[in-house]
Amino acid sequence: MGKGLLIIAIGGMMASTTLSFQMKQTALETTKVQTAYEEELLAREIARSAYSVAYRQAQSAGNDLDLAIANVNGTLSGGRPNLDGEMIGDYQGGDYAVQAYSQDGQNVKIRSIGHFGNAEHIINENYNVKLLTVKEQSRVTIEFLESMAGYCSAVFLQQYVPNTGQGRPAGSQLTDDERYWIMPPDMVFESGHNRAESDARTTPHNIVLDPGTRMNFFIGVDKNCSEEGIMEDSFVADTYDWIHHALEEDTENLEDLQEGLYSMIEQSDTDDQKWRIAFEDLRDFSNSKMEDIKANSYGGNWNDGSQTYGGSGWDEHDALGYRKLRDFGWKPDFSDQVIEVTLTPCGGLCEPPA
């Protein structure tokens, strides 16, 4: 009887010890999980804080892409941006590394990496150079530079007008953040291709652009040219086979409008209120192919393994200083509908649209 009680007691002690050990192990694992979670939160906070600083530094460069990169990465001895540089530092017991770079030569990406303990958090987001923004009251001239297209396309201008609290412009819609009025599109060129010189330039008398307005041009592709030569009073999307925008909305408040997949936008080297917009009018290419051409130029044949045409950069330029475009058809060429947009300030004396 005594031995039996002793065995029971020993068994109870062993069970208690085992349970205590298991509880300690569970507590230890919980602590590890909790620590890892807290480290991830801190690494994320460090990455976000560093990104915010870099974003402000890039933003201070305005529309100067090279300066935006230099403000984050630093400069080389000749004053050019250090493309391999980065902004590094310690913060809240961890550290960060931030780098600005450009894949398409038009917009800047910012990569921010935050570390805390064993945790790492990466933020890789766009800082968008604000293209097609009106500085002062102006009229707009649109001129065709090239039209190497089999399809016809009409060209439209859509304005995003700052909300100044002076009332709603006719036909407009307010953005979610109430900062802009979205205006109905204006046709600036009717459907056509291979345009004659007399049909290649226009300064619409009914369009006056106010300061702060964001412009967005888009083409309506008319495959069989059924709408050729017809000037429309209003935009009807169903008239066209598809639409390609120069700028695409990344957010609902329009602040992050960025270059569309089917367009290449270049600011003039001599005038920051002049841009060339080159459209690809086909739509049967993959995103990877479109992005590769925009970043690296035409190259040769597509390589499925490396996902590139093998271009080495846009090292050829035309007489106006823009990237030299070619006509291929079997790969994205961005030479189908090419316009130059020029803003001419009128010192606040532009006559309002009729």
Look at residue 251 in the predicted model and tell me its pLDDT: 47
3-state secondary structure of 303: strand
SS3 160: strand
CA distance linking residue 294 with residue 216, whole number of Å: 19
Distances (CA, A) of 124 to 37, 64, 102, 108, 332: 21, 20, 12, 11, 26
Mean of pLDDT values over 51-69: 83
Q: How confident is the model at residue 270 (pLDDT cuts 50, 70, 90)?
A: confident
Q: Evaluate whether 294 touches 335 at the Cβ level (below 8 Å).
A: no
The pTM of this model reads 0.69
The closest alpha carbon to 175, from 235, 254, 259, belongs to 254
Measured at the alpha carbon of residue 100, what is the angle toward residues 259 and 315, in degrees to the nearest 5? 60
Q: Where, residue-wise, is CATH 3.30.1300 in the chain?
A: 1-129
Question: Taking residues 173-179, what's their average pLDDT?
Answer: 86
In this predicted model, what pLDDT tens digit does every residue of 206-221 receive, in sequence order? 999 999 999 999 999 9
Task: Tell me the CATH number of domain 1-129, given options 1.10.12, 2.40.30, 3.40.50, 3.30.1300.
Answer: 3.30.1300
Residue 196, pLDDT > 70, answer no
Query: Higher-confidence residue: 298 or 59?
Result: 298
